[in-house]
């Protein structure tokens, strides 16, 4: 898949470029995804403005099939 670039505006006021690509395997807490489309962008402006390390953001669409018990 050819990376696709899109302009985005962050809530802290910066504009960055997002690159769309595919992650072949993503797993955490016993949850596993294969071959998912993702958007990559530099999150350092959020880290700097909030003064904490941000490893990434997961969109709600990843959890759309989960239901509370």
What is the per-residue pLDDT for 16? 61
Structure tokens at 28: 């955490």
Single pTM value for the model = 0.59
- Which of 6, 64, 9 minimizes the C-alpha distance to 39? 6
Computed from CA positions of residues 47, 58, 4, 36, in that sequence, does the dihedral angle turn out positive or negative? positive
* Confidence check: pLDDT of 2 > 80: no
What is the per-residue pLDDT for 57? 86
- Residue 4: helix, strand or coil by DSSP? strand
| pLDDT tens, position by position, 14-53 | 556 788 899 999 998 888 999 999 988 888 888 888 888 8
* Confidence check: pLDDT of 65 > 70: yes
What is the per-residue pLDDT for 26? 92
């Amino acid at each position: 898949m050819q990376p696709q670039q899109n302009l985005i505006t962050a809530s802290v006021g910066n504009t960055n470029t997002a690159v769309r690509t595919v992650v072949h395997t993503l797993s955490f807490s016993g949850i596993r995804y294969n071959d998912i489309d993702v958007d990559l962008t530099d999150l350092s402006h959020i880290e700097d403005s909030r003064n904490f390390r941000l490893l990434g953001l997961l969109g709600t669409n990843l959890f759309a099939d989960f239901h509370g018990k």
